[in-house]
Structure 1
């Protein structure tokens, strides 16, 4: 039985919100200093990328409403397959510069 496509949006949004919770009040230096936080944030980004990748397989039209979908999936692949060379500064930049807008898009799509 196929999952409801909205579940993929919900999974991605929940992961994005967890990233926000994990990093609330933190800065890049504290992020870099805490292996558990880095691991938790990277895992949630992996979930975001995988959920949206699965969404693109079952509902391309809906997935096309998500800006930079291919980059999000590629970022997930980098985190998983390039685990030994993850750039903390890049993860922090995505978290601070890109994640809020993605969360807004996901909320709007879930509300519609």
Structure 2
């Protein structure tokens, strides 16, 4: 879960400069792809562990995105990945906030 939290922060870094910057920057696009694949793989593991998805989250959607990026990398629609990064991932971050939060006692040395 802590990895998810960090990847959500990474998505903010990828999208922070805006859509135009994302669409012209192949490195930013690759970073976004990598984050979406990691989120999708994590969703797959959580689904297999029978962790119920919170309202607004469908593990299968993230898994499908991961699979598309891995297997159809030559036909990626950057407008679609942008939308996923700025609409879907923040909604997931909000829905999963309690699961990815670091407990107070875990943050202390």
Q: TM-score, normalised by structure 2?
A: 0.82
Contact in 1 for aligned 2:43/2:60 (Cα 8 Å): no
Q: Which runs of 5+ in 1 are unaligned?
A: 1-8
The CA distance in 2 between the partners of 1:82 and 1:45, in whole Å, is: 14
3-state SS in 2 of match to 1:51:
helix
The residue number in structure 2 matching 1:12 is 4
Between the two proteins, the alignment pairs up a number of residues equal to 101
Moved more, 97-106 or 43-52: 97-106
The CA distance in 1 between the partners of 2:93 and 2:31, in whole Å, is: 18
Cα RMSD, aligned residues only: 1.7
Runs of 4+ displaced beyond 4 Å: none
Q: Which runs of 5+ in 2 are unaligned?
A: 104-109
- Decide which structure has greater helix share: 1
